[in-house]
Amino acid sequence: MTFSISADFIGAQNRKAEAALAEDYAALGRQLERRGVDIEKMTARAMAYAVAVPSWGVGTGGTRFARFPGPGEPRNVFDKIDDCGVIHQLGRVTPTVSPHIPWDKVDDYSALRQKAASHDLTFDAVNSNSFQDAKGQKLSYKFGSLTHADPGTRAQAVEHNLECIEIGRKLGSSALTVWIADGSNFPGQSNLNAAFDRYMASLREIYDALPKDWSVFLEHKLYEPAFYSTVISDWGSSFMAASELGPKAKCLVDLGHHAPNTNIEQIVARLIRAQKLAGFHFNDSKYGDDDLDSGSVDPFRLFLVFNELVDAELRKAPGFNPAYMIDQSHNVTDPIESLIQSANEIQRAYVQASLIDRAVLAAVQAESDVLGGHLLVKQAFVTDVSPVLAEARRRKSGAIDPIATYRASGYRRHKAEERPDSGTASAGIV
């Protein structure tokens, strides 16, 4: 029998922290009341917010130099679902899992769906993978996939994406995320326009196969592994492709896929205006696509992104329905702890952005009160909404302090005993 964290154990841990939480929640409530903010409304918003966890994120990640496996890593997708279930059980903000194919392929998708349901989980967007060569694959993606010069290789990559759609239908998903590593490392290696044309032709086949209620999320990335030119390198290329394909195609924003100091929140605003914002892969970065824990390096940037998202939500921007997903892979922490913390920081930014009085902000902007507008935004960012997040978890039967509860449970130690190291973990990205 596999180890699990019981509701009774969570309740016992919560009882140790309930008095302090009640005191902190009351104090924050009084502070917010002076600003005209109802803390109960903020708690309700926190309870309603959700972000998907990546199936691949529960394994230890790595760098392009090495990967250092951790104890008790998932051996298969069913183990991954157990770990994702713990993340949701404790944090109560991650009710969906984003799978990756072929990493998460199984023979019985009904059984996988039932496994997820046993943890109160469902499936989010399915991610295809044509940036690696799968075992037994006939043609290599070393020189590209959907944009490869060889028609047979392109056809193979298209067929893989069609398979992902079929798998997604079986899992109850309604979106396909497509990221390709295609590009070039040397001038003259590839015709830049021809590569984009081949991408569009391949995507058209995938787009035309989408079920009626599905979307395809186009993910761009500035560089790596294509260092000279990347076919879908920026939001402009992504937007161009999504616009040409049609209304089911939208642009996914990964917070690490931009040049340093890029104004990501302005990109978000533009995509919202164009009704082409698919959603997010949340993470953090210092130098590039670092895939660090969300909010660990630049929490203000994360908050400013949510400033635009909450603004769009509250003014009911047309077509606004973003998919929120985490995409991180780090090699020095317990992945479950990192995903719990990242989900908490994403939820924090959402609640903080919700504190801004939009009517007052609009008024000071209309008066060109530069510092006044900045101070309104900054006031929301520096407000510690931890009691709201903890109370939201408590009311949803989660843990007041999820990481402390996770550590006290001994879950990792138990899983290390249940999942002996085989040398072939099925999660994590190098």
∠ at Cα 227 (225, 231), nearest 5°?
Answer: 80
What is the CB neighbour count within 10 angstroms for residue 279?
A: 23
- Whether residue 243 contacts residue 270, with contact meaning beta carbons closer than 8 Å, is answered with no
Peptide bond into 247 cis (omega under 30): no
Phi, psi (deg, nearest 5) at residue 75: -95, -20
Q: Report pLDDT digits (tens) over 43-86.
A: 999 999 999 999 999 998 877 678 888 999 999 999 999 999 99
For 191-194, the CB contacts below 8 A with 24+ separation are 192/229
Non-local CB neighbours of 52 within 8 Å, separated by 6+ positions = 94, 96, 97, 98, 124, 125, 323, 324, 325, 326
CA 106 to chain centre: 23
What is the CB neighbour count within 10 angstroms for residue 397?
A: 12
Q: How far is Cα 2 from Cα 128, in angstroms, rounded to an integer?
A: 30
- Whether residue 323 contacts residue 367, with contact meaning beta carbons closer than 8 Å, is answered with no
Phi, psi (deg, nearest 5) at residue 54: -85, 135
pLDDT at 254: 98
Q: What is the pTM of this model?
A: 0.96
Q: What is the CATH number of domain 49-354?
A: 3.20.20.150
Tokens of 121: 């989980």
Q: Report pLDDT digits (tens) over 167-177.
A: 999 999 999 99
∠ at Cα 300 (236, 381), nearest 5°?
Answer: 130
- The alpha-helical segments, DSSP class H, found in 264-357 are 264-273, 299-314, 335-354
- Whether residue 384 contacts residue 39, with contact meaning beta carbons closer than 8 Å, is answered with no
pLDDT (tens digit, 0 to 9) for every residue of the chain, 430 residues total? 799 999 999 999 999 999 999 999 999 999 999 999 999 999 999 999 999 999 999 998 877 678 888 999 999 999 999 999 999 999 999 999 999 999 999 999 999 999 999 999 999 999 999 999 999 999 999 999 999 999 999 999 999 999 999 999 999 999 999 999 999 999 999 999 999 999 999 999 999 999 999 999 999 999 999 999 999 999 999 999 999 999 999 999 999 999 999 999 999 999 999 999 999 999 999 999 999 999 999 999 999 999 999 999 999 999 999 999 999 987 899 999 999 999 999 999 999 999 999 999 999 999 999 999 999 999 999 999 999 999 999 999 999 999 999 999 999 999 999 998 866 555 555 4
